[in-house]
Amino acid sequence: MAKKKRPAKAAPRPAAAAPSLFETLWSRRKFDILGKKQKGEGRRIGELRSRGIEKRKKTILREYKLRHKSNAFVDRRFGENDEEMSEDEKAIVRFQRERLAQLQRKSKFALPDAEEEEEEEGDLLTHKGAALSMLDDFNEDVSGDDEEELPQVAEAQKELNFGGGFTDADPARKEKRSKKEIMEEVIAKSKHFKAVKAKEKEDDLDLREKLDSDFKVLAETPALLSLMRPKKINTLKALLAKGSIKNDKASDADTEKEKPDDYDKLMKEMAFEIRAQASERLKTSEEIAKEEKERLEELEKKRIQRMTGAQESDSEADEDDGGSKRKKKRKRAEISGDDLGENFVLEEEYQEKGWVDEVMARTEAENPDASDTDNEENGDDDDEEDTDFDEAVQGEDSGTSGSEESTREELIEEVKSTLRKEDESDDKDIEESRELPFVINAPQTLEQLLGLVKHRSTEELGVAIQRIRACNAISLAAENRKKMQVFYNVLVLYISDLAGAKPLPLDRINMLTKPLIEMSLETPYYAAACARERLIRMQQVLSDKLRSKDGDESSCWPSVRTLLLMRLWSLIFPGSDFRHVVMTPLVLLLGEYLMRCPVTSGRDVGVGAFLCSLALSIMKHARRFFPEALSFLLVLLSTGLPDSSAARKTGPQFLRELVGSRPWLLLKDDNSDKSFCDLDFPELVAADGDLDIFDTDSFRCGILNASIQTLKGFVTIYNDLPSSPEILREFVPVLLELSSSKLLPKSLKASIIDTLELIHKTVEELEKFRQPLQLRLKKPTPIKQFNPKFEEDFAKGRDYDIDRDRAERKKLRRQIQREAKGAARELRKDNQFLAAEKLKERAEAEQEREDKYKKAMAFLEEQEAAAKSGQLGRKKKRRR
């Protein structure tokens, strides 16, 4: 401590921040490393300490001294509280303040008072207000660089110097220049440099003029002309002509502003000319799609022209389109406005001039690229591939696009609203089929789509959808996204519409499948929202039906529409996801159908069996456990047995009541020699309630066969499920009894025995290798190791705790500790300081008292001595 303190006392406190070596704290280093920083190296402890003491003197000491005082004296004089200022500085500051106050009071342009000037300038002689001697000196200073000084510069300088203040020549005065003078000097100098610059520019101009005239002479010589491209010669001439005019004007163009003249324009034109000839770059997917669209539009335009008879002569190209033009023409007039929406317009003249233009304006398409109509088929194929590719890309993009996410809620609303419409959709009578247009706007309602495709063949339907997708590709325009979403929904509506038709138009539905799968790629969120809303509705319908099942005769089992849509979604969305926004609810719904719907008719049996196969197709990939299907199959198969048999009682009781209420699959006649065919899905599912076909043995055989096949599938995918033996063993008595039945067709019997064998094999396999559970198996704890842990890019002082929260807390705790320590230290120091002050005070008081005492004693002693000696001592003393 003492050592450290010493230098602090010894060194005088520097006024400036000059670091004193005596005041720095440094620790001795054993090895000096270059560039290494060490803690406390640069700190000047002594100074810090004395600063602290000073601070205390100002704060605590003052408080201490004023502790018994009720009033205080505040010194408001300028700089009075600033101890670092010398007396002179204080005076200057005061003076400055005074001047400032004056300046603020006066207007800016008021001339200074004569008195003041006199005060400042003292006894100098002046000419025009400037000191005579100074004028000369200034001229000497500046005019040295340039002989041809412009008169105005000189004048400006003179003006500037008016009023004087320049005291270059006078070294004594130099130091006393006022701020005003300094500023004036700066202004003068800047003006001077400006003048110099102007001069230089003038010189350049002269030189350029000279060069121009030289070039003109050169240009007129044939030597240069021969070197030039013929195109440029005119330009050159024009340039020359300009140049001459310019030359005339050049004399007075010094201060003129530069305007974009013809030369500049020409130059720019030339620049553009070159750029326009750059090589063609690769087209982006959008452009390709756009071109494709334009091509289709062009085709459409031509077709309309042909239809209206403008180009009757070249009929070769029309072969592909087929059909007689006359017929088409007649029908064209009959189309009603609401059939095809905005695409088709009645008025002939409007068609002629405006339609394509309108479309083009809408899509901002230009540059129609004519191509041969003969290529149509190939073109379509190409187009398909292209758009497929686009969609794949687009689909990925849209997965992250924010715009779609933001409108998701709207989507759902939209889907809901269209769902409501779904029920109201009614078929209108549409006219006869006609030529499919090339450019088709995406139909926004089911009616529009129906109007377009209802009376067309399945192939044409496919082509129409393809064209719609090509014309409204999302990559073409932003608003197409919305259009296509609506169109997507319309297609789904169309499927459910078709599902209601009898017989089931499976071909058409199949035709829609691929586009829907592909379009889902483009707008996955919309597709999911769409599917989910429908699923919710299906579930609601089911719950309602289950609740009111006593009164309601209609079957709880799903309709054809539901079945087809479920299958479609299981194609669009992956069934193997652990949790999927669409598939999980779908599978749950599937399970509910199987577990809770009472089987009341042959159709219900068929639908149930079909749902089991659907479940199998969904579960197959991830091999998930789906108990509902197995329970259902078990009970369903047991209905193939007579009521008397013991195996009829298998399966959960509630399911037996729901499903096995009647021996649905019990064969009536001997079918051992007959063969049976696979179940006809459309016929079976589209039929309602009890039909004759449900009461035939072939139907029963078909269901048995399908169930057995499905069961086989489940057995295969569950061959590693730990509980498979328990689940599958329940099937064994049922299957055994079924296979022993004499009425069964031989092939069916064989497949049952097959399945039985498969079950036996699976069960045996599993039971052989199944081990008791070890759920609590802990991971083997690794042996503790002592090799150090290394961090990449280790930085000292950083907390490498993985738990960031803990690290943060630790940091905060440390901070609190530090602060608390600091505060305690400060308080301690305050106390020490105060104690020292008190001690000092006491010492002073003591001293004073002692002095007084001594004085008194001395006096008394003197008195005593005087009394004793009879005034003798005093004299003696004085003398001494």
Partner 1 sequence: MKVEEVRALGSALLVSRANVNNCSTLLSIVSAFCKRGAGSSSSVECVLEAVRCLQAFFLPILSSQGVLGKPQSDGDGSETAEAIYRAWLKNKFEELIELLIAIVVGTEEHRLENAALDSLMELLQAKDCRVDNGIYFKLCLALTRKSSENVFDALATEHCKDATLCFYTVKNFEKLVSARLQTSQRGVDATLSSDDDKSVSVDTFTRNVYGVISRLSPSVQEILSTNKKITENALDKEFTINRFKSKVRNLWLNFLQLPLPLDVYKMVLANMSKVVFSIISNPIRLSDFLTKSYDLGGVYSVLALDSLHILMTKYGLEYPEFYERLYALLDPSMFFTKYRSRFFELLDSCLRSPLLPAYLAAAFAKKLSRLSLHASPAGSLVVIAMVHNLLRRHPSINCLVHQSSRLRVASKGEEDVSDAKLGRDPYLANEKTSNCRALESSLWEIETLRRHYCPAVSRFVSTLEADLTVKRKTTEVQISDFCSGSYSTIFNEETKRRLKQVPLAYYKVVPNALFSNNEEFAGWSFPKEKKLKVM
Within residues 40-69, the interface with partner 1 by CB under 8 A covers none
Whether the ω angle into residue 112 lies within 30 degrees of 0, i.e. cis, is no
Is residue 722 a contact residue for partner 1 (CB under 8 A)? yes
The least distance separating partner 1 from the CB of residue 654, rounded to whole angstroms, comes to 4
Taking the complex as a whole, how short is the minimal distance between the CB of residue 589 and partner 1, in angstroms? 7
514 binds partner 1 (CB under 8 A): yes
Q: Is 628 in the site for partner 1 (CB under 8 A)?
A: yes
Provide the minimum distance between the beta carbon of 772 and partner 1 in the complex, in angstroms, as a whole number. Answer: 4
Q: Which stretch binds partner 1 (CB under 8 A): 86-94, 331-339, 590-598, 832-840?
A: 590-598
Task: Give the DSSP per-residue string, 171-225.
Answer: HHHHTT--HHHHHHHHHHHHHHHHHHHHHHHHHHHHHHHHHHHHHHHHHTSHHHH
- 695, with CB counted inside 10 A (0-12, 13-18, 19+), is exposed
The yes or no reply on residue 399 touching partner 1 (CB under 8 A) is yes
Among 408, 428, 814, 818, binds partner 1 (CB under 8 A): 408
**Dihedral over alpha carbons 863, 865, 871, 874 (to 10 degrees):** -90
Which span sits near partner 1 by CB under 8 A: 78-86, 353-361, 572-580, 832-840?
Answer: 572-580
CA distances from 544 to 413, 421, 564, 597, 604 (A): 22, 20, 21, 12, 18
Tell me the site size for partner 1, rule CB under 8 A. 109
Residue whose CB is less far from partner 1, 725 or 873: 725
Minimum CB–partner distance for residue 585 and partner 1 (Å): 5
CA distance 361 to 357: 6
Q: How far is the CB of 537 from partner 1 (least distance, A)?
A: 11
Q: Is residue 747 helix, strand or coil?
A: helix
Where in 524-553 is the site for partner 1 (CB under 8 A)? 524-525, 527-529, 532, 535-536, 539, 543
Print the binding letters for residues 411-440 with partner 1: x by CB under 8 A, - otherwise.
----------------------x-------
Among 54, 113, 726, 826, binds partner 1 (CB under 8 A): 726
Q: By CB under 8 A, is residue 571 in contact with partner 1? A: yes
Residue 822 is a binding residue for partner 1 (CB under 8 A):
no
Question: Among 27-35, 650-658, 733-741, 813-821, which window interacts with partner 1 (CB under 8 A)?
Answer: 650-658
Residue 598: CB minimum distance to partner 1, A: 12
Among 289, 493, 564, 665, binds partner 1 (CB under 8 A): 564
Q: Which stretches of 143-178 are DSSP H helices?
A: 151-161, 171-174
- Candidates 139, 285, 305, 617; binder of partner 1 (CB under 8 A) is 617
Q: Residues 654 to 673: which contact partner 1 by CB under 8 A?
A: 654-655
584 part of the interface to partner 1, by CB under 8 A: yes
> Contact 660/648 with Cβ under 8 angstroms?
yes
For residue 130, give the 3-state DSSP assignment: strand
679 scored as a contact of partner 1 (CB under 8 A) = yes
Helix 627-638 / helix 602-619 crossing angle, nearest 10 deg: 140
Short-list 684, 628, 636, CA closest to 662: 636
**How far is Cα 124 from Cα 135, in angstroms, rounded to an integer?**
13
Choice from 198, 681, 732, 733 touching partner 1 (CB under 8 A): 681
Query: Least distance to partner 1 from the beta carbon of 454, Å?
Result: 8
- Provide the residue count of the chain: 880
Cα(475)–Cα(521) distance, integer angstroms: 13
Q: Which of 490, 470, 346 is nearest to 419 (CA)?
A: 490
- Residue among 8, 415, 476, 582 that touches partner 1 (CB under 8 A): 582
Shortest distance in whole angstroms from residue 689 CB to partner 1: 20
Q: Does 107 bind partner 1 (CB under 8 A)?
A: no
Report the nearest approach of partner 1 to the CB of residue 669 (Å). Answer: 21
User: Which tokens is 566 given?
Assistant: 């479920």
- For the chain, the farthest-separated pair of C-alpha atoms sits apart, in whole angstroms, at 172
In the list 195, 474, 484, 587, the residue contacting partner 1 (rule: CB under 8 A) is: 587
Q: How far is the CB of 805 from partner 1 (least distance, A)?
A: 21
Closest CB to partner 1 among residues 298, 404: 404
Q: Which stretch binds partner 1 (CB under 8 A): 240-248, 294-302, 515-523, 823-831?
A: 515-523
Residue 677 found at the interface with partner 1 (CB under 8 A): yes
Residues numbered 269 to 308 that lie near partner 1 (CB under 8 A) are none
Is the four-CA dihedral 343, 346, 349, 350 of positive or negative sign? negative
Q: What does the alpha-carbon distance between residue 57 and residue 13 come to, in Å, rounded to a whole number?
A: 16
The distance of closest approach from Cβ of residue 424 to partner 1 in the complex, given in angstroms and rounded to an integer, is: 23
CA distance 172 to 461: 106
Does residue number 608 form part of the binding site for partner 1 (CB under 8 A)? Answer: no
Task: Confirm if 272 and 278 have CB atoms less than 8 A apart.
Answer: no
For residue 275, give every residue at least 6 positions away whose Cβ sits within 8 Å of its Cβ, in sequence order, or none.
none
Q: Is 269 helix (H, G, I), strand (E, B) or coil?
A: helix
Say which residues have a Cβ less than 8 Å from residue 532's Cβ, sequence separation at least 6: 412, 581, 582, 585
Question: Which residue number, 381 or 848, has a Cβ lying nearer to partner 1?
Answer: 381
Rounded to whole angstroms, how far apart are CA atoms 395 and 581? 17
Task: Please calculate the CA angle 332-335-337 and round it to the nearest 5 degrees.
Answer: 130
Please report, as residue ranges, which positions from 3 to 22 form the binding site for partner 1 (by CB under 8 A): none
Q: Is 122 left (phi over 0), alpha (psi -120 to 50) or beta?
A: left
Considering only residues 132 through 191, tell me which ones interact with partner 1, judged by CB under 8 A: none
Exactly one of 52, 79, 368, 585 binds partner 1 (CB under 8 A); which one? 585
First-to-last CA distance in the chain? 49
Q: Are 507 and 458 in contact (CB under 8 A)?
A: yes
Shortest distance, position 634 Cβ to partner 1, whole Å: 9
Q: Between 20 and 584, whose beta carbon lies closer to partner 1?
A: 584
Contacts 24+ apart (CB under 8 A), 349-358: 351/304, 351/308, 352/308, 352/310, 355/304, 356/297, 356/300, 356/301, 356/304
- 737 touching partner 1, by CB under 8 A: no
Q: How far apart are CA 172 and CA 179, in angstroms?
A: 16
By CB under 8 A, tell whether 572 contacts partner 1. yes
Burial (CB count within 10 angstroms: exposed 0-12, middle 13-18, buried 19+), residue 623: middle
Q: Is 674 in the site for partner 1 (CB under 8 A)?
A: no
- Pick the binder of partner 1 from 403, 774, 781, 785 (CB under 8 A): 774
**For the window 453-472, what string marks contact with partner 1 as x by the rule CB under 8 A?**
-xxxxx--------------
Name the one range near partner 1 by CB under 8 A: 471-479, 615-623, 780-788, 792-800: 615-623
Q: Which is nearer to partner 1, 461 or 641 (CB)?
A: 461
Scanning 267-275, 509-517, 827-835, 860-868 for contacts with partner 1 by CB under 8 A, the matching segment is 509-517
Contacting partner 1 (CB under 8 A), which of 52, 395, 733, 873?
A: 395
Q: Among residues 251 and 771, whose Cβ is nearest to partner 1?
A: 771
620 interacts with partner 1 by CB under 8 A: yes
Q: Give the pairing type, strands 126-127 and 130-131.
A: antiparallel
Q: Which residues contact 464 (CB under 8 A, 6 or more apart)?
A: 436, 440, 452, 453, 456
What's the closest the beta carbon of residue 699 comes to partner 1, in angstroms?
12
Q: Which residue stretch of 145-153, 178-186, 774-782, 791-799 sits at the interface with partner 1 (rule: CB under 8 A)?
A: 774-782
